[in-house]
Amino acid sequence: MGIIVTIIGSFLLTALFGRVLIPMLHALKAGQSIREIGPKWHNTKAGTPTMGGLMFILPSVVFVVAVGFPALREGVYEQLLVLGLALVYGLIGFLDDFVKVKLRRNLGLTALQKLLLQLAAAIVFLALLRFNGNLTYDLYVPFFNVEFTIPWVVYMIFAGLVIVGCVNAVNLTDGIDGLAAGVTFPVMIFFTVTAYFWGSNTLALFPASLVGGLAGFLLYNFHPAKVFMGDTGSLFLGGAVCGMAFALDIPLVLILVGIIYIIETVSVMMQVTYFKLTHGKRIFRMTPIHHHFEMGGWSEVKIFTVFTGITVVMCLLAWLGICRRFG
């Protein structure tokens, strides 16, 4: 019952909050600057309010704390650990967005600043998760229903890199109207269902809040977007995705549910590497890869539909891969 209340409540609160937040962002002139190297038709998006991720972040905090309060009184804190990780990354994104808006430039914090902050957040989160008993040093392999124990130092390095990589991969996906929200929506449904069926009802509240929150956000972010989530929202979502995977102790499932994030990131890596090796040649028209399809004539709605559809299929496949773990 608490999960249903959280989904519906988050949807309604996000939808209502949007009616207040968007005019506020307009008044504060918190408009998005458009990258000079991006598709030319994106210039029409200049000035669209950013930092709209606050729209679904607030309901997440409200419902995770309010609905999960009885569990908090009993000393169950796992949902707060994942929420805390996402909030820290959201704060990093907020600082990045603030620099962009304040200085009127598309690039905010430096890459090194963001990397150090993100690594520090990942290390603290993993340590707290281990202390709380959620995290083991066993890697569960979907479909094969086996676990491999690895040295804790190796695991921590692996986990830290996965978290930072995942967070930035979600950020790369946020390049056209509705895409990051649309792709992450089925991922949050997957984590909600998984946590619920594995008996972690309280942990399920956090992804459930984002199921409702992202649905409400898409009312404003679907093409043509009235607001962008900004790094505030995309880094928060990245923290939510990888945080849930580690809290449930199934990080390898990110390969399946996060396939679009991975493809987006790999496309950038391939493009940059090939560009340097060939002194200026490109594999794709533009990266991340959603821009490749966009410049090939796909509409933003078509990209949204195809990428989200792929994620839905991969989430169903992921469920088949992990459903035997706890019988």
The full length of the chain comes to 327
The pLDDT of residue 40 is 60
Beta carbons within 10 angstroms of residue 270's beta carbon:
15
- So where are the chain's domains? 2-252
Whole-number percent of the chain with pLDDT over 70: 91
The pLDDT of residue 7 is 97
Instruction: Select from 190, 177, 321, 170 the least CA-distant residue to 231.
Output: 170
Average pLDDT over the chain reads: 90
Q: Which tokens hold the place of 169? A: 């991969």
The pLDDT of residue 48 is 87
Q: What is the largest CA-CA distance in the chain?
A: 61
Instruction: Select from 183, 187, 165 the least CA-distant residue to 174.
Output: 183
The pLDDT of residue 243 is 96
In whole angstroms, what is the distance from residue 233 CA to residue 50 CA? 9
**Interval 106-123: pLDDT, tens:** 555 678 888 899 999 999
Residue 284 is inside which H or E element, if any?
none
The pLDDT of residue 177 is 95
Task: Quote the pTM value.
Answer: 0.94
**Average pLDDT of the residues in 135-156:** 91
The pLDDT of residue 39 is 61
Is pLDDT of 105 > 60?
no
The pLDDT of residue 229 is 95
Instruction: Select from 121, 122, 129 the least CA-distant residue to 78.
Output: 129
SS3 sequence of 143-195: CCCEEEECCHHHHHHHHHHHHHHHHHHHHHHCCCCCHHHHHHHHHHHHHHHHH
Is pLDDT of 233 > 90?
yes
The pLDDT of residue 26 is 84
Numbers of helices and strands, H then E, in the chain:
13, 2
In whole angstroms, what is the distance from residue 141 CA to residue 255 CA? 11
Alpha helices in 28-138 (DSSP H): 54-67, 69-73, 78-103, 111-132
In whole angstroms, what is the distance from residue 143 CA to residue 209 CA? 28
Question: 25-34, 125-134, 244-253, 291-300: which range is least confident on average?
Answer: 25-34
The pLDDT of residue 21 is 94
The pLDDT of residue 134 is 79
**Average pLDDT of the residues in 185-191:** 98
Q: 139 near 252, Cβ under 8 Å?
A: yes
Q: Which tokens hold the place of 288? A: 């991340």
Is pLDDT of 168 > 60?
yes
Question: 17-26, 65-74, 309-318: which range is least confident on average?
Answer: 65-74
**Average pLDDT of the residues in 151-169:** 94
Give the DSSP letter of residue 32.
P
With bands split at pLDDT 50, 70 and 90, how would you rate the model's confidence at 193? very high
In whole angstroms, what is the distance from residue 234 CA to residue 229 CA? 7
Question: 125-134, 196-205, 277-286: which range is least confident on average?
Answer: 125-134
With bands split at pLDDT 50, 70 and 90, how would you rate the model's confidence at 207? very high
Residue 313, CA distances (Å) to 106, 213, 296, 317 in order? 34, 22, 24, 6
Is pLDDT of 34 > 60?
no
In whole angstroms, what is the distance from residue 291 CA to residue 189 CA? 27
Is pLDDT of 68 > 60?
yes
The pLDDT of residue 77 is 82
The pLDDT of residue 102 is 66
Q: 252 near 142, Cβ under 8 Å?
A: yes
* Backbone φ, ψ for residue 46 (5° rounding): -55, 135
Is pLDDT of 164 > 60?
yes
Q: Which tokens hold the place of 36? A: 């000079």
**Average pLDDT of the residues in 248-267:** 97
